Amino acid sequence: MKHIKILGTGCAKCKQTEAVVKQVVEQMGIDAKIEKVEDIQKIMEYNVLSTPVLVIDEVIKVKGRVPMPDEVKKYFYNNPCNQHYYGNKTAIEICPTTTQGRVKAGALLVDVREKDEVAQLAFDVPEIINIPLSEFEDRYSELPKDRELVMVCRDGGRSLKTTYYLMNQGYENVMNMQHGLVRWVQRGFPTKGDTNSVLIKSESAGCCDTPNNDGSPCC
């Protein structure tokens, strides 16, 4: 039996990929189990940033696009591929308040939002580097391995992906800031630019709604 996984958080392309795979499996009469994987942590076990991802027998075949039916058919003929998933790891996540302390102690903030987002509203901290998610796989090596890295984005989702990605690349001192710039602004921490764009789109929430991974309170 073939074990097929479709990695993605439920976007239109993920659904299209699932439909294509199901169509091919039915047409070819393949004995297969198709599994949708939508949990970010489980997706990042495969060390990918772009979804959807098609995995067949734990080998990545397609990532970041919807495959054509004829392409999928070829993958059932034992074609070699050397891109396997990485081991299961759990990312460390901290809140903006804790991040403030980390930054004062020398941590480097890594903003993975796109350049137009940063131009509109940026974190105002002594040291920060912007590597957009769209460029991250090509540029992640610019980040030092001998410093503590705190990954940030708008709401914590994209930065969590890059946290797992770096862990799978051998970075041991990296963590994700939960709730992202949205919570940073809500807590009144320093920024440069128009905060209204973030506050208007976001629901009001207290910083301690979600505790840290170790169970300690956020603030």
Q: Which residues are catalytic?
A: 153
C-alpha radius of gyration, the chain, whole number:
19
State how far Cα 19 lies from the chain centre: 24
Cβ distance 9 to 40 under 8 Å? yes
- In degrees, rounded to 5, the angle at the alpha carbon of residue 103 between the alpha carbons of residues 97 and 105 is 110
Closest among 11, 5, 7 to 48, alpha carbons compared = 7
Strand order in the sheet with 93-94: 93-94, 174-177, 149-152, 108-111, 128-130
The answer to whether 42 and 90 are in contact (CB under 8 A) is no
* Residue 36: exposure state from Cβ atoms within 10 A (0-12, 13-18, ≥19): middle
CA nearest to 97, candidates 208, 196, 21, 7: 208
How far, in Å, CA of 216 to CA of 212, rounded?
6
Select from 18, 151, 138, 51 the least CA-distant residue to 91: 151
